[in-house]
Structure 1
């Protein structure tokens, strides 16, 4: 079995305060993955970031914390919240759930590429999972570094792909490539 884990696909990421994003096709690729996993009868996990910070775009209990419309109709095998980057450190012990189901291969997609998706991939890799990241089913935002230089969302996405691939944490590919894991 291969579990699809969708991380933080939430309305709050549409908040203009977050700035410039990349990959406008991410949501449509996420929908392709949801439909393929449902058709294959493979496990679907939805993870939602409930921020404890007041006025955060993802503040728990607000409209921004709700899932995006692309997840409407999805029937997850597991759904839970988290307050930190890694989905392995949420309200549910994801590692125990996966191991209990005999799942050792996971596909990750969602928001933000270089934050929660990358952190979950690193932890998953450290725990011994065969991790795949559908990079074109993720997106992120421009970010300013400590020196004041701005890294674009595309640059950050490429850096995440390099970190995960080069570091041996995950196989980074496309939505179409991960669909082959279902056959």
Structure 2
């Protein structure tokens, strides 16, 4: 795997409101936050661009709604903002895709000549997957850091319920098998982004 010098890391919706287990239900992948932090550190230390995406929910029940404590980034993300050697962007959105946020993510990336994206964050099968799909459709080479994402159990039509882990696997199969993105692990990305020695 080759990571370009200007590959952008998209950190999707890593917000305090996702800690409210009573609202969201059981989650998967307890290692996700440590992996997200490792990716931010690797990207910032290498001078690569990092995009922090925040979901400003318009739902009156959502812990992510504007003005609520849950709308803010988790502490480990907030303390890393503004610390990188590379470019940084804050995108706010109220829908699933970071490409439908403000400011215009696609325009910012293209102006910077970015062709590769790494997607990490919350939720695996919602905003992270939607952003990765759209990135692929827009012609970017997308790497999806599956173990740097997590999601929650979900009930759909006909009473069908899938666990968070089942949903994460479905996302991985859809993105990778469908050609939207290459599904990878955090350690692979960190190793590929490390500066060459010698």
Same topology, TM > 0.5: yes
SS at match of 1:59: coil
Q: Name the structure 2 match of 1:131.
A: 142
1:73 aligns with 2:84: no
Deviations 1:53-109 (A, max 9, x none): 112110111100000012113226100210000000001111110000000001000
Cα separation, 1, equivalents of 2:160 and 2:70: 29
1:99 aligns with 2:103: no
Match of 1:3 among 8, 15, 18: 8
What is the aligned length? 183
Deviation, 1:149, is 2.0
Q: What are the within-5 Å matches in structure 2 for residues 86-165 of structure 1?
A: 86-165=97-176
1:15 aligns with 2:26: no
1:24 aligns with 2:65: no
State the superposition RMSD in angstroms.
1.0
TM-score by length of 2: 0.90
Note the residue ranges of structure 2 that are not aligned, 5 or more in a row: 1-5
SS at match of 2:158: coil
Note the residue ranges of structure 1 that are not aligned, 5 or more in a row: none
Deviations 1:147-181 (A, max 9, x none): 11210000000000000001100000100112244
Q: Name the structure 2 match of 1:48.
A: 54
